[in-house]
Chain A
Amino acid sequence: MNAIRERLERFFRGVGEGAGLFLEALYWCKAAPRNLDKIVAHLLQFGNATLPIASLMALFIGGVLALQTGSRLADFGLEGNIGGIVGLSMVKELGPVMTSLLVAGRVGSAVAAEIGAMNVYEEIDALKTLDINPVRYLVMPRLLASVIAVPALCMYVNVIGLVGAAIVSAVNPQIGVSPRLFRLNFQEVVKFGDILDSLIKSVVFGTAVALACCHVGLRTTGGPEEIGRAVTRAVVLSFMLIFVLNYVITRSLM
């Protein structure tokens, strides 16, 4: 019973601390103009770490989606609808979710490790004694970079995924849908609102990943082995947040 109570207490304390960190980071966004160099540096880090893998991932996800859906649709003579079906799946679900998972794994883990190491090796204490707010200096630039980078990456993943799907649809003899037909069906089914949903999701996921990883990093204490644990904790927490928020957003946007 005590263990359950302790876990609940820890959970609610974590939620409270996360909310506090979000509000403080939001407050420090007023200092964004004079921290542009840091924000741009983190944006480049996001791009460097994720773009090649995101391209590969999106291309194959799009291709597999087309392969799985197209062959079934062809059984009923409905292969002409593949552009819309794959487009909706990609734009509304797979694009934002897969991009955010990738960012959490590639960049979020690095953020948690970096900030965690800074905490363990007294660098955060050094910032405080220099009267530099760690949330302004460390969290706010990463949060803003994530909020900008994840939607941009998501749109890129959507486009590459659709290209992959269109290629597979065209070259697979069982499906045999031309890129033009694929595009026309996509344009007919996928509306601007669907793309907006994708953007909303990726902004929320980007915020959640950045906050979760920074929060875990800032709470890391102990020795070097704790840094490794913090990375695992940050990635798992980010994944959980993405899945839960995905359901909540999907439900509220319906």
Chain B
Amino acid sequence: MTLWSRVLGSGGPRVEREGPGGENRATPGVRVEVQRLNKFFGAHHVLRDLDLTVDPGETFVIFGPSGCGKSVLLKHITGLLSPDSGRILVDGEDLGAGDGHRRFRLAMVFQSSALFNSLSVGENVGLWLKEHRICRQEEIARIVAEKLDLVGLAGKEATMPSELSGGMKKRVSIARALAVSPNLMLYDEPTAGLDPVLTEQIGHVIADLKRLKITSLVVTHDLNLGFAVADRLGMIHEGRLIETGTPAGIRATTNPVLKAFLSTQMKVLEGGA
């Protein structure tokens, strides 16, 4: 039994899918291809011919200054926004085409955690399972306990979101996302508004989840987190992905815009320390 099926398989049907090339893949992750994506908000051109490829099972970190279009890109991948031009393919499936029915499972961890305040932690985590009638109540309770344990919150089912700290809310949000048994996991500023200790905790959770081989896209402006969890990183500047590479490659960049951004971030971090 693989780690994936042991930890996540109980949340829904086993994922053993065929890749675009016809090969059978055991990894739950999907390939994400963003092709020449453009988005305007009024006269503001937010995304400009953005191209990006994320391999199955890869953790890809997108960083860049505020307002550069990072979160807008994630909202396009979730389908919350529609592009003005360009397309997004997930395992070869065009998200803009067809009847909206997806052959893959997607989950997102929101910047604000977006927990439902009227529901307990357990109900939040089990919401997708309950609403889609994936399994019976006892099974849902078992899966919820499993996911909460995975993010270090075992036994917190009955707690209400208002009783949780910011870091705990983020972890519940991650557990809720994991309950979907996702093939693609999106994190929107997962450490925004958290102190360094909680930021480190969330970083550990995301890094720990890499073993599940879910394709993950992490949007952040926290470079420490980015370098800690990424297989590859990419910087968005003025709506374009200007550079991608491994953490070592990004550190050794010669791109002047990226270098300037990195040195500013390092100064901020040193100043903070």
Which residues from chain A sit less than 8 Å from chain B, CB to CB? 34, 114, 118, 121-123, 125-126, 128-132, 137
Asked whether any CB of chain A lies closer than 8 Å to the CB of B180, the reply is yes
Q: In the complex, which residues of chain A have a beta carbon less than 8 angstroms from the beta carbon of B116? A: 118, 123, 126
Is A130 a contact of B127 with CB atoms below 8 Å?
yes
- For this complex, into which size category does the number of interface residues on chain B fall? 20 to 34
Chain A interface, DSSP helix/strand/loop, else mixed = helix
14 contacts between A and B (CB under 8 A): A122-B110, A125-B80, A125-B110, A125-B114, A126-B108, A126-B116, A128-B78, A128-B79, A130-B107, A130-B128, A130-B131, A131-B128, A132-B132, A137-B131
Task: Please report the C-alpha to C-alpha distance between residue A129 and residue B106 in the assembled complex, in whole angstroms.
Answer: 7
Nearest B residue to A118 via CB reads B116
> How far apart are B140's CB and chain A's nearest CB, in angstroms?
14
Chain B interface, DSSP helix/strand/loop, else mixed = loop
Q: In the complex, which residues of chain A have a beta carbon less than 8 angstroms from the beta carbon of B80? A: 125, 128-129
Q: In the complex, which residues of chain A have a beta carbon less than 8 angstroms from the beta carbon of B117? A: 123
Which residues from chain B sit less than 8 Å from chain A, CB to CB? 75, 78-80, 106-108, 110-112, 114-118, 127-128, 131-133, 176, 180
Task: Please report the C-alpha to C-alpha distance between residue A70 and residue B152 in the assembled complex, in whole angstroms.
Answer: 71
Task: Please report the C-alpha to C-alpha distance between residue A125 and residue B108 in the assembled complex, in whole angstroms.
Answer: 10
Q: In the complex, which residues of chain A have a beta carbon less than 8 angstroms from the beta carbon of B133? A: 34
Is B107 a contact of A129 with CB atoms below 8 Å?
yes
Is B180 a contact of A130 with CB atoms below 8 Å?
yes
Cβ contact of B110, chosen from A34, A114, A126, A131, cutoff 8 A: A126
Q: In the complex, which residues of chain A have a beta carbon less than 8 angstroms from the beta carbon of B75? A: 125
> How far apart are B105's CB and chain A's nearest CB, in angstroms?
9
> How far apart are B128's CB and chain A's nearest CB, in angstroms?
5
Nearest B residue to A124 via CB reads B114
> How far apart are A123's CB and chain B's nearest CB, in angstroms?
5
Is A132 a contact of B127 with CB atoms below 8 Å?
yes
> How far apart are A22's CB and chain B's nearest CB, in angstroms?
22
Nearest B residue to A31 via CB reads B131
Q: In the complex, which residues of chain A have a beta carbon less than 8 angstroms from the beta carbon of B118? A: 114
> How far apart are A182's CB and chain B's nearest CB, in angstroms?
45
